[in-house]
Amino acid sequence: MAFSSFHFVPHSLSLLSLLFLFSLLLPSTILPASTHCHPDDKKALLSIKKSLNNPNTLSSWNPTTDCCTWEHVTCDSNSNYRIMELLIYDISVNGPIPSAVGDLPYLDSLQFGWVKNLTGPIPYSLTKLPRLRFLRINNSPLSTSIPDFLGHIQSLKYLELDQNQLYGPIPASLSNLSKLRDLDLSRNKLTGSIPVSFGSFTSNLYRLALYENQLSGEIPKSLGRLLDCETFELSGNKLVGDASMLFKQNGKATFIDLSNNLLDFDLSKVRFPKNLTYLDLSRNRIRGSIPKQATKMKWKKLNLSYNQLCGKIPQGGQLQLFSAASFAHNQCLCGPPLSKCK
């Protein structure tokens, strides 16, 4: 309303209303500048800006103003206005994440996303951040290995390094992160096998996302101990052998995607976790028949296509509501929604 009305009032008034509007939208630019910013934080941020080559995106990082008013950062009013969040996205830099990020000791959340031309390595100085809970470096061309020392940042709760060009093995040390809830290393070029230590996460890991890498070998039996894990996303790798350890009736799994691997086990012996609603096992070498228990499940998605399954599809529950595409291209599955058994 204020916007449309000022066309109809005398010039001086319209200017006033414009100023009033601005004071509502940008209080910090009109009101006297507060000086919450901690000088050490300002120094670290200006050093980060310089290392990133003074990108336009950080033009609000003006040394003469309060750093708590800058874009891409948040100060925590509960801890003396120290910088608690640094979110850098959508810029282009020719270099690594500046090691000065380690000089923001109150950092809770550090994110670098969609950063063009970002290079490695991941800075060791991250280990100096005792409060870092959320580390996300994603959708960037970061081509380096995942350093062991990430397993020493004991405060980490969310570690998301998805959609980069990370290569080499997954460090076994990550299982030492005693507060980790979400580990997302998907869509990289990681090789080697899933560390056996991943069965001994001391935290209540609820999401393990390792999909679309080049992981090989068997899934460690130890992963059967992750009863609290709700989401297993391991699709699009070269995993072989058994995966039945992920199916624990008393486990909390609701989402299991193992599609596009080389897994080979007998599905008849599997007992589904009670709350499992999303299951994609397509494009593997899974044998046996579909357990009768499948008719008792509340499926949102089920895809068993492109395997070596045999026998009659159990009748009942939601199974016949799926299209043939969910069961097609098996060795000898039959019955609705596929064609009649011979």
The length of the chain is 342
Structure tokens at 266: 């007998």
Q: Are 322 and 338 in contact (CB under 8 A)?
A: no
Q: CA-CA distances (angstroms) from residue 314 to 112, 254, 257, 285, 325? A: 48, 21, 21, 20, 16
Contact region with ligand NAG (CB under 6 A), list: 8-16, 72-80, 130-138, 275-283: 275-283
- For ligand NAG, the binding residue among 15, 19, 325, 332 (CB under 6 A) is 325
Verify binding: residue 173, ligand NAG, rule CB under 6 A.
Answer: yes
- For ligand NAG, the binding residue among 138, 164, 284, 326 (CB under 6 A) is 326
Contact region with ligand NAG (CB under 6 A), list: 33-41, 57-65, 264-272, 300-308: 300-308
Site for ligand NAG in 109-168 (CB under 6 A): 116-117, 151
Site string for ligand NAG, 58-97 (x = CB under 6 A): ----------------------------------x-x---
- For ligand NAG, the binding residue among 306, 327, 330, 333 (CB under 6 A) is 306
Structure tokens at 183: 């580990």
- For ligand NAG, the binding residue among 163, 188, 231, 259 (CB under 6 A) is 259
Return the amino acid letter for 103: D
Q: CA triplet 152, 146, 236: central angle to 5 degrees?
A: 125
> Shortest gap between Cβ of 78 and ligand NAG (angstroms)?
31
* Token pair 């060009």 in the structure block, residue: 165
Q: What are phi and psi of 239, to 5 degrees?
A: -75, 140
Structure tokens at 43: 């120094």
Q: Are 123 and 76 in contact (CB under 8 A)?
A: no
**What is the contact surface with ligand NAG in residues (CB under 6 A)?**
92, 94, 116-117, 151, 172-173, 175-176, 197, 250, 252, 259, 274-275, 282-283, 303, 305-306, 323, 325-326
